[in-house]
Structure 1
Amino acid sequence: MRTQTVVAEPDRADDGAPPSPPSSPSSTPSDEAHSAFTPPLGVEQPPLFEDDQPTSEFALPDGAWTEPPAEPEGSAFEVPEAVRPDAVRAHSGAGAGAGLHGSTAYTPAHGVPMLALSKEAPWQDRMRTLLRMPVGDRPVPDTVQRHDDQGPAVPRVLDLTLRIGELLLAGGEGAEDVEAAMFAVCRAYGLDRCEPTVTFTLLSISHQPSLVEDPVSANRTVRRRGTDYTRLSAVYTLIDDITTEETDTTLEEAYRRLAEIRRNRHPYPGWALTLASGLLAGAASVLVGGSVIVFVTAACGAMLGDRLAWLCAGRGLPEFYQFVVAAMPPAAMGVALTLLGPHVAWEGRPSAVITGGLFALLPGRALVAGVQDGLTGYYITASARLLEVMYFFIAIVIGVLLVLYLGVQLHAELNPEAALHTVVRPVAQTLAAVTLSFSFAILLQQERSTVLMVSLNGGVAWVVYAAMHDIGRISPVASTAVAAGVVGLFGQLFSRYQFASALPYVTAAIGPLLPGSATYFGLLGFAQNELDRGLASLSKAVALALAIAVGVNLGGEISRLFLKVPGSGRASSRRAAKRTRGF
């Protein structure tokens, strides 16, 4: 029996009529003649296109985004709402936290929305946003400083970036702000795919020119640290000029200005710092109820401790022993007032004298920076900073305990109940808070133009604390946290409109809130062998210190959420820190 072969008929295809199916199994076409697009038996042949031309595999089929006819409710073939064209347009600007329905946690079919950065926003906000993005999702840098057709010298740009980061980290700036500054300098000179890394003592940065070229890395170690907020402000001004298109800053000009910043002397001489230390201790003693005698005694003790610390520093002793020596004279002054007699002791308030001396030594700047690094996800740097704070605190404890133990052996009447008899004097204490912040700003070597502003900020912080604690009878920890939040909010506001660091506007203003009295009475409890009382007071001091740090950081975050960027009509935003729990 012969097998019948089906032959295609071009004239019938030209007429547009579909071929008739085979009438019997014996007429089944061969594999060579069977097309992949030939419908199976019993399925109607679809009509050809009107132009009688085959559809290109790269052409968008007609009706790909047309709204399909409505299906019955609950149909398994109903088009999901998230893939409809209107849903695509609606979700194109949704954030990463939009929820499970319409969430952009997974890459959507329409792609990831392009990030739009406002040039009117401060460079800190723009760089923080870019740093918390994956390298592949960052937009191509818009080179601000163009001076050579061949591009900048990569090693020189990386070296300049590390030198700027070193000055910022040595001046006490947070790790996130240091990384943002380094990232801003690299992008301003046109380097893409840069990754800065900041730890407590090491700075590193890597640059990968392309996916087929070897990366270039450089690092720098921070050997010495010093508190000079005038130098810190000058570095921020240099970074602002580098990242601004209106200012032409070549690499040679940036190196020259950076060298001038390093060579500049401190704005205040050593004797002015010593007087500021005494003024700070005297003002702090007035805050806790001291009189004129207390003010003078506390100031003398703090100035003597400052000079002894400078002497130890000149002999090369570590900073730990400098704090031990600096804490002893104020405590000795308080014990001496007690030994002079009960009448003089009550008028002099030895507890206020010792508390005032502790205010000048407590490392509030390092504490705030450490907690801020921890809250923003830099846990290694935060651990190192907090460990440094612990060492300083232990040094203060050792210095004060040595003197208090000697005073107990000499039968000095040190009364821990004096903390319950604090005299409330609103006007005098507010002026003392302003004076304390003023002297603290001098010790931090701030610019003269910022001293008045930070002093007023410290006075506002004390008014908020006193109103909540003395009048509202709210716990001191909650009152301290709210007052520190006000300091952080105002400090961030001042810095944003000056395009500068927030540290000069925040650190000195938290001076009146430092837990000096709680620290002293905790140490006194240990010296008198009352461990329960001492542990309770020291725990209160730790809680107050953490409340200050968290409050300052929260105030700064609130300002970024709700305050509008100067020159634009929208609020600044920043992606969240690195997630550690998977949601």
Structure 2
Amino acid sequence: MVAEPEGPEPEGEGPEQAEGPGQSGRKPTSDEAHSAFAPPTVPARPEPPAEEHPTSEFAVPAGVAPPGTSEEDQPTSEFATPTGVAETAGAAETEGSAFAPPSTYSARHSPPAFTPAEGVPLVTLTKDAPWQDRMRTMLRMPVGERPVPEAVQRHEEGGPAVPRVLDLTLRIGELLLAGGEGAEDVEAAMFAISRSYGLDRCEPTVTFTLLSITYQPSLVDDPVTANRTVRRRATDYTRLAAVFRLVHDISSPESEVSLEEAYRRLAEIRRNRHPYSGWVLTVASGLLAGAASVLVGGDVLVFLAAAVSAMLGDRLAWVCAGRGLPEFYQFVAAALAPAAMAVALTLSPLDVRASAVITGGLFALIPGRALVAGVQDGLTGFYITAAARLLEVGYLIVAIVIGVLSVLYLGLALGAGLTPETALHSVERPEVQLLAAMALSLCFAVLLQQERNTVLLVTLNGGVAWSVYGALALTADIPTVAATAIAAGLVGLFGQMLSRYRYASALPYVTAAIGPLLPGSATYFGLLAIARGELNNGLASLSKAAALALAIAIGVNLGSEMFRLFLRVPGVGEPAPRRKAAKRTRGF
């Protein structure tokens, strides 16, 4: 063993390398003896004297307090709680649901709320009442105030199939709207279907050509919206009655109609043919025109002339429809034949009342169905649909005016002696005119493709309308417009009673019954006066025709509303649930 040379301790060696007690003569442990993962031993460097410490020129001088120790140098937020003020427990409100009541709300110390003097009415829906009244009542209520629905029809365990229910609702609403049903009744039917299958938060919307329905599962879920466009309109009251029966069965708890069964019945309704063929409709239009000509004073010859001209006009309109021409030109073509027949009879040596021939032809063309539906939609608050329906009526009337005036101008140029004549002679033969009015209603019902078991009822309703009108206007000397409105009101009242008895639509019992009240003669005399150059008389007569048409529409709607106002639940004897009015505007 070689001894280490004596000398001063090398600078930089730490105490680990110095010889201590009990370690004299031992060789220091080599660095290779340590683990590769152990931190290397760093020898302690002796602390230099104070004067040898290098200082930064940015260092804080000795005796000066470092920054941040004084209160003025510590920046604080203006929203921070001052020192010495204890934080209130729960002052910071945790974020929660938007629909949860605030933490400061207390049911015992709730803010005062306005309560009407009569209290908040409790809405009760009687199951014995017709589904139309129950659905109208709920549709006019806010969503939060509607009673919780009881699903009438069973569905899958996972809940109702929302897309299929919405699709079925739209398809049924399309058939009703295309058949001429009012917008309010279409919305009520759509709401009844969706509610019967368990979709309570539904909002149906009906316009003239678009149907839409929105379903929202809850207040925090995204809504589901579906819509359907009505492109074709066909007058078939048999199909309309079948759809009403389907809606009644779906909304009734006594019958079980699954979604598959409802789709099957809807497909059958679509596939069913019209109860009357095209030639039967042509003959019915001719008989309608003949009955209308007798109603305004015509004889047998006038009856035959009006019937033949109306059938020719109907066939001409069918030809135009087969060529794809719009309905406007179809009405122009249909109005040409009666006017041409009247001019030809005037130029002939026969003594024929030409005015009765043209008036009878106009009775078969005046769009009374669309007029009644348009005014009803306006009175119930569906202004967009009402404006569209009335615009359609305006176009059809303009088409009739063009067709008749073009022939009248030609007849006057040829020297036809067309002069205004008395329209009605009800005092001389009331029995004949009553039979003519009933025949007119019957033919009108056939043109509307009504069910055969409803034709007799609507024929009797038309006879009642004409009897009341004749008694008021011709016997009691009541103004024509007022007498027409009263007679139309009775038609609406009886039609609503018959529809509730059969759980069907009121249109089949109302539309054909107002046929004898249509302003055919006033329309003809107005057009004749314009053709003769008497503009003031013509406009006055056309204004009277418009007033009579509005009286018919308003009377029908008022009669229906009066029946609903005093409706009593069958077998209970209590008034039906109060139906809230459609408060759209208040006038201030």
Q: Please say whether Structure 1 and Structure 2 have the same fold, judged by a TM-score greater than 0.5.
A: yes
Q: 1:425 is matched with which residue?
A: 429
Distance change >3 Å, CA 428–CA 59, structure 1 → 2: closer
* 8 Å CA contact 1:184, 1:243 repeated in 2: yes
Amino acid in structure 2 at the alignment position of 1:395: A
Alignment match, 1:575: 580
Partner of residue 9, structure 1: none
Q: What's the counterpart of residue 182 of structure 2?
A: 174
Against the structure 1 CA distance between its residues 535 and 422, is the aligned structure 2 distance closer, same or farther, given a 3 Å change threshold?
farther
- Which position in structure 1 is the counterpart of 2:325? 317
Deviation at 1:567, TM superposition (A): 3.3
Matches within 5 A, 1:22-171: 102-103=117-118, 112-171=120-179
CA offset digits 1:65-122 (Å, max 9, x no partner): xxxxxxxxxxxxxxxxx99xxxx9xx8xxxxxxxxxx255xxxxxxx44311000000
* Higher mean C-alpha deviation, range 565-574 or range 293-302: 565-574
Residue in structure 2 matched with residue 543 of structure 1 by the alignment: 547
Q: Deviations over 1:448-488 (max 9, x none)?
A: 01000000000000000000111111111011000000000
Offset of residue 417 of structure 1: 3.5
Aligned residues: 484
**Letter of the structure 2 residue corresponding to residue 130 of structure 1:** M
- Matching residue of 2:376: 372
Relative to structure 1, the CA distance from residue 566 to residue 534 in structure 2 (aligned partners, 3 Å threshold; closer, same or farther) is: same
Q: What fraction of aligned residue pairs are identical, expressed as a percent? A: 74
1:252 and 2:260 aligned: yes
SS of the residue 2:212 aligns to: strand
Letter in 2 for 1:139: P
The one-letter code of the counterpart of 1:388 is E
Distance 2:197 2:424 in 1: 60
2:206 is aligned, of 189, 195, 198, to: 198
Shift of 1:563: 2.8
Q: Distance in 1 between matches of 2:495 and 2:423?
A: 31
- CA shift, 1:574, in A, is 1.4
Contact 2:295 2:424 (8 Å CA) reproduced:
no
In the TM superposition, 1:151-550 aligns within 5 A as 151-341=159-349, 344-345=350-351, 348-419=352-423, 424-550=428-554
Deviation (angstroms), 1:582: 6.3
Give the Å deviation of 1:424. Answer: 3.5
TM-fit CA distance, 1:562:
1.1
Structure 1 contact 121–568 (Cα < 8 Å) conserved: no
Query: Displacement, 1:565?
Result: 2.6
Indicate the structure with greater helix content. 1
Counterpart code for 2:272: N
Question: What SS class does the counterpart of residue 331 from structure 2 fall into?
Answer: helix
SS of the equivalent of 2:127 reads coil
Q: Quick one: which amino acid aligns to residue 521 of structure 2?
A: S
SS at match of 1:317: coil
The change in CA–CA distance for 1:299 and 1:211 in structure 2 (over 3 A counts) is same
1:555 matched residue in structure 2: 559
Distance 1:337 1:234, change over 3 A: same
One-letter identity of the residue aligned with 2:492: G
Shift in CA distance, 161/536, structure 1 to aligned 2, threshold 3 Å = same
In 2, Cα distance between equivalents of 1:470 and 1:196: 46
- Larger Rg belongs to: 2
**Separation in 2 of the partners of 1:424 and 1:479?**
19
| 2: CA distance, partners of 1:478 / 1:538 | 17
- What is the one-letter code of the residue matched to 2:369? R
Residue of structure 2 equivalent to 1:72 = none
Measured in 2, the distance between the counterparts of 1:206 and 1:477 equals: 43
For the residues of structure 1 that align with 2:425 and 2:162, how far apart are their CA atoms? 64
Runs of 4+ in 1 over 3 A off after TM superposition: 57-61, 417-424
Partner Cα distance (1:404, 1:575) in 2: 51
Please give the alpha-carbon distance, in whole angstroms, between the structure 2 residues aligned to 1:194 and 1:59: 31
Please tell me the residue identity of whatever aligns with 1:547: A
What is the alpha-carbon distance in structure 1 between the residues aligned to residue 339 and residue 296 of structure 2?
16
> SS at the partner of 1:218?
strand
1:59 and 1:305 mapped to 2: Cα distance? 74
SS in structure 2 at match of 1:417? coil
Residue type at the aligned position of 1:249: V
Instruction: Report which stretch shifted further, 572-581 or 209-218.
Output: 572-581
Shift of 1:422: 6.8
Contact 2:380/2:582 (CA < 8 Å) preserved in 1? yes
Mapped partners of 1:236, 1:173: distance in 2: 11
Give distance in 1, aligned partners of 2:320 and 2:424: 37
Change (3 A) 1:59 1:546: closer
CA distance in 1, matches of 2:546, 2:495: 23
**TM-score w.r.t. structure 1 length?**
0.80
Report Cα offsets for 1:352-378 as digits up to 9, x if no partner: 000000000000000000000000000
Contact 1:289 1:424 in 2 (8 A): no
Range with bigger deviation, 392-401 or 135-144: 135-144
Instruction: Pick which of 332-341 and 275-284 moved more.
Output: 332-341
- Separation in structure 2 between the aligned mates of residue 307 and residue 60 of structure 1, nearest angstrom: 78
Question: Which amino acid is the alignment partner of residue 331 of structure 2?
Answer: F
Q: 1:58 to 1:175 in 2, by over 3 A?
A: closer
Deviation digits for residues 313-356 of structure 1 (CA, Å, limit 9, x no counterpart) = 01000000000000010111111111113xx23xx211000000
Partner of residue 17, structure 1? none
Alpha-carbon contact 1:324-1:398 (below 8 Å) kept: yes
Distance in 1 between the 2:247 and 2:133 partners? Answer: 14
Alignment partners' CA distance in 2, 1:59 and 1:563: 41
Give 1:423 deviation, angstroms. 6.1
Whichever residue aligns with residue 487 of structure 2, its letter is A
Measured after TM superposition, the shift of residue 421 of structure 1 is: 6.6
1:212 shift after superposition = 1.4
Q: Tell me the distance in 2 between the aligned counterparts of 1:318 and 1:401.
A: 20
Tell me the CA shift for residue 59 of structure 1.
Answer: 11
**Counterpart-to-counterpart distance in 2, 1:445 and 1:408:** 38
Deviation at 1:523, TM superposition (A): 0.3
CA distance in 1, matches of 2:320, 2:162: 43
SS in 2 for 1:458: helix
Q: How does 1:3-22 map to 2 (within 5 A)?
A: none
TM-score (normalizing by structure 2): 0.80
Looking at structure 2, the residues matched to 135 and 116 of structure 1 have their Cα atoms a distance apart, in angstroms, of 15
